[in-house]
A = this chain, B = another copy of it.
C-alpha cells in the first residue's frame, strides 16, 4: 500500500489558463462581441495552439525573453490572417488584452476562498505579472500573491519556475502543492519535489473535449473542481 507523506502542505500554487479561468469560452465570447465573421471557438483554439510553440522559441533562444502579452500578439497576427480578418491596430491591441479579462470557472473564486483559510495561495502561471494582476482583479480571485514565469525568466515546465516559487515562499518543495488541469504541468512540478493536485476541466477546449491521459494514482489529489479539492483537503 502506498504510504502517503505526513500532511505538511503549506502553500498551493495554481496554473491559471484553463485551471482557474476559462480561456476558450471567454475568447469565443469576445469574438462574438466584436462581431468577427468566424467561428469563435475555433479562433480560441487556434490562438491557444500557438502558445506552446511560441514559448519553445523563447526556451530555445530563437526568440529573446518575450512575455506572454508579446507572444499572444505575435500569434494573434497570424491567426487573424488565417481567419481572413483585418482589424485596425488599436482594435488588435485591445483584442490581445482579452487574456487580461478571462472569466473564472464558476467554482474558482468560492473554492479559492475556502482553500485560503488553510493555505497560502499563489498563482504560478506563464502569464506575465500585469496580466495575472488584471485576471485576479477581474475575477475577484482571493490569491495572496501573484507568481509568474516572468519573475524567473523561465517558462513552465522549466524547473526554475516551480523551485523559484518554493524559494520565494521560504518553503521546501514538498510543502508546496501545484494545482493544475494539465498532467504535464503537474509531472514537471513533481519532478521538482512539489506535491500535485489534478483538477479536471473537461470543458477547457470547449464542450465535449477529452482530458489529457493520466494514470490512476499518479497525483496526490484528483478533484472535480476547487470546492471538491477544498473538501478533500479538509477545508
Chain A positions within 8 Å of B, measured between CB atoms, are: 69, 120, 122, 128-130, 132-133, 136-137, 143-146, 150-151, 168-171
Q: Known pairs A128-B170, A129-B169, A150-B168; list 20 more (Cβ under 8 Å).
A: A120-B133, A122-B133, A129-B145, A129-B168, A129-B170, A130-B168, A130-B169, A130-B170, A130-B171, A132-B145, A133-B144, A133-B169, A136-B144, A136-B145, A137-B144, A143-B145, A145-B145, A145-B146, A151-B151, A151-B168
A22–B98 Cα distance when bound, in Å, is 40
Residues on B with beta carbons closer than 8 Å to the beta carbon of A171: 130
A145–B135 Cα distance when bound, in Å, is 12
- Assess A69 versus B170: contact at CB under 8 Å? Given A144-B136, A146-B144, A146-B145: yes
Residues on B with beta carbons closer than 8 Å to the beta carbon of A143: 145
A144–B122 Cα distance when bound, in Å, is 11
A187–B128 Cα distance when bound, in Å, is 29
A69–B144 Cα distance when bound, in Å, is 19
Residues on B with beta carbons closer than 8 Å to the beta carbon of A169: 129-130, 133
- Smallest Cβ distance from A139 to chain B, in angstroms? 12
A171–B69 Cα distance when bound, in Å, is 14
A122–B145 Cα distance when bound, in Å, is 9
Residues on B with beta carbons closer than 8 Å to the beta carbon of A144: 133, 136-137, 146
- Smallest Cβ distance from A233 to chain B, in angstroms? 17
Residues on B with beta carbons closer than 8 Å to the beta carbon of A133: 120, 122, 144-145, 169
- Smallest Cβ distance from A153 to chain B, in angstroms? 12
A55–B132 Cα distance when bound, in Å, is 31
Please, could you name 6 A-B residue pairs with CB atoms under 8 Å apart, sorted by A?
A69-B170, A122-B133, A130-B168, A130-B170, A130-B171, A145-B145
A168–B168 Cα distance when bound, in Å, is 16
- Smallest Cβ distance from A120 to chain B, in angstroms? 6
Residues on B with beta carbons closer than 8 Å to the beta carbon of A168: 129-130, 150-151
Q: Which residue of B has the minimal Cβ distance to A134? A: B120
Residues on B with beta carbons closer than 8 Å to the beta carbon of A69: 170
- Smallest Cβ distance from A46 to chain B, in angstroms? 25
- Smallest Cβ distance from A114 to chain B, in angstroms? 15
A129–B137 Cα distance when bound, in Å, is 20
